[in-house]
Amino acid sequence: MGLKDVFSLITGLALFLFGMNAMGDGLKRVAGNKLETILWRLSSTPLKGVALGTGVTAVIQSSSATSCMVVGFVNSGMMSIAQAIGIIMGANIGTTATGWILSLSAVEGEGEAWWTALLSTTFICAIFALIGTLMTMLTKKSVYQNTGAIMLGFAVLMSGMKMMSGAMDGLGESPVFTDMMSTLSNPLLGILVGAVITAILQSASASIGILQSLAAATATATSVGVSNAAALYLVTGMCIGASMPVLLSAIGATTNGKRASIIYLIFNTIGAIILTPIFWGLDVIFQPAFMDASANAISIAAINTVFNVGATLILLPFVKQFDKLVCFLIKDKTTDKETDMLDRLDERFLEHPSVAIEQSREVLISMADKSVRNLVRAMALLTNYNTHDYEVVQQKEEVIDTYEDKLGTYLVKITALNLENNQSREVSKFLHTIGDFERIADHAVNISHVAKEIHEKNLVFSHEANRELNILSTALEEIVALSVKCFRNTNDPDIYRVEPLEEMIDLLCDEMKLRHIKRVQSGNCTLNQGFVYSDLITNYERIADHCSNIAVALIELEMDELQTHAYLSDLKEHKSAEFIQYYDEYKVKYSLQ
């Protein structure tokens, strides 16, 4: 094997890895951007987890990618360890699909007739490359372009396989190579070499592909290049080595994230411990001719499938024991429960935009709920002030600020991804509303300061002022609840109630300020009470304005209108019958008379 062959081998490996990645990405895009979300939502039992893990991995062509995604799910608290175990088992089975696809490289046309050439890998690659190029260059529909990318990826992958096989031609005649391969029939050595190779390449599929190329290139009529026995132990080691990228993905993860990452390693290691003695024993006792025969692409794909399916069938009943084992190996740590939801903003999800967006939505809803609860807590201080609750309001505000900072940074990272139109609108909705939810929490703090001032100065509002304030408070609670409800539930028709209610609250605030000025002038209220009362009403009015901003953002983005306040501009020109109906309803409901 000369220097030219080494360069050819490196080029073939690069083409192979690129083609595998391109084909997997294309398959994933054709399958839809909800693939990862489905994996998260539908893995309620270990058996479902195995089925879904198998299906998703067969599509994205990488058990490591699936397992890394699962680590992210567990890390963020979206998925339990038990659910993760089933999916990782299924991922091991799903990744065997790559080996069967690669085994097509073993198909070659034989004979002199022209039609036998149609059976060759060369012809298949040429057709896939031609059609894939035409679909990618001449069509505009994404589904055709993605299908073209799959075909091009397959053609490049197969070309890389052929190039690697060509570069390794003649190794089968080398005594050094045949001696080395004979030593790999030793189970421990074969497993160790397979694990090291895969740990370096960071992909079991790539390792299997290289082994298939090596087997095809070194099998000759006079010698056995790679025996099935050596292939069996190498494949077993490759399954163990594939855990390396999953383990690396858990760096900086939570306790549960680390637990999920070692499941892949433990599962394949225990599978190897159980199955290797069985295979070795059968070989020693029965000495089947298959074990000493030359391996080929098909036999290697079959070995890979038998190992992973066998390990899953044996270990699936012991999911609970796996759960206990990983919890024993990695102990719990104390965490800040207030910011647990922020663990959902996992960097791993940025490779899967649909999941990243869904988790951002969940975190923003949690932030909105915290803002509302803090507002209610602050408003309660007006009638029942105590130092403890006042301090809680301040502490919760710091938590909400942390949410805004982390979520805002994460959303900016999402915007840099290659998003579909509906995904871009969703992210825009989050960016438009996050500041308003945070400002509601800021005004809650302002209200708590007003409550503290009222308490410290022993200020007492008149009966009429308190009655009006209760009416405004009820209206404010309704508009805040409406805004959060409509943000949580897409296309909620109650979203069109927010603006009429906000306009009614503006009217209430103006009228209450005028009435209070008259009470100060008549001596029923003092000037100090007037300042505090006015400050309180202003905060209420600002909160209603932020609710309006949230509703407008939701309406305009659902209408696919990205220009600012298009909905409000339209209302100023002509109010709809629906708007007038809701406004009149609130005018009666929140009348100060």
Can you tell me which residue has the tokens 């190897």? Answer: 272
Question: Nearest 5°: phi and psi at 26?
Answer: -65, -45
- CA 212 to CA 24: how far, in whole Å? 19
Contact 94, 66 (CB under 8 A): yes
> In angstroms, rounded to a whole number, what is the distance separating the alpha carbons of residues 121 and 132?
16
What CATH code is assigned to 345-458?
A: 1.20.58.220
Q: List beta partners, residue 227.
A: 294
Segments making up each domain of the chain, as ranges:
3-329, 345-458, 461-593
Residue 505: CB atoms within 10 Å = 25
pLDDT in tens, the chain (593 residues): 567 777 887 888 788 778 877 776 776 666 555 555 666 566 667 888 888 888 878 776 667 777 777 877 777 666 778 888 888 898 889 888 878 877 766 555 544 455 555 556 677 788 888 998 998 888 878 778 888 888 888 888 778 777 876 776 666 566 666 667 667 778 899 899 989 888 887 778 778 888 887 887 776 544 556 888 888 999 999 989 888 888 877 776 677 778 888 888 899 999 999 999 998 888 888 888 888 888 888 899 999 999 999 999 999 898 888 888 888 888 766 544 566 788 788 887 887 788 889 889 989 999 999 999 999 999 999 989 999 999 999 999 989 999 999 999 999 999 988 888 888 888 988 998 999 999 999 999 999 999 999 999 888 888 888 899 999 999 999 999 999 999 988 788 899 999 999 999 999 999 988 888 888 778 777 766 778 888 999 999 999 999 999 998 888 776 655 454 566 666 666 778 888 899 999 999 998 87
Compute the distance between CA of residue 266 and CA of residue 272 in angstroms, rounded to an integer: 10
Residue 18 contacts residue 156 (beta carbons within 8 Å): yes
Residue 397 to residue 317: CA distance in whole angstroms: 47
pTM of the full predicted structure? 0.62
Query: Around Cβ 147, how many Cβ atoms within 10 Å?
Result: 20
374, 444 Cβ separation under 8 angstroms: yes
CA distance 110 to 121: 12
CATH of 461-593, one of 1.10.1740, 1.20.58, 3.10.20, 1.10.533: 1.20.58
DSSP labels, 196-236: HHHHHHT-HHHHHHHHHHHHHHH--SS--SSBHHHHHHHHH
From CA 88, how far away is CA 67, in angstroms rounded? Answer: 6
Q: How far apart are CA 540 and CA 268, in angstroms?
A: 60
Secondary-structure percent of the chain, ordered helix, strand, coil, rounded to 5: 80, 0, 20
Q: Hey, how many other C-beta atoms are within 10 angstroms of the C-beta on 341? A: 22
Taking CA atoms, 589 is separated from 468, 471, 538, 575, 585, in Å, by: 13, 9, 21, 20, 6
Identical topology for domains 345-458 and 461-593:
yes
Question: What tokens does 359 get?
Answer: 């988790």
- Angstrom CA distances, 38 to 34, 354, 355, 358, stand at 6, 10, 9, 11
Is the dihedral angle over the CA atoms 75, 79, 83, 88 positive or is it negative?
negative
Q: Please state whether 460 falls in left (phi above 0), alpha (psi between -120 and 50) or beta.
A: beta
DSSP three-state, residue 141 = coil
Q: Where are the beta strands (DSSP E) in 79-231?
A: none
Euclidean distance between CA atoms 98 and 20, whole angstroms: 9
Residue 322's identity, in one-letter code, is: F
Crossing angle of the two packed helices 3-31 and 46-60, in degrees rounded to 10? 120
Amino acid symbol at 66: T
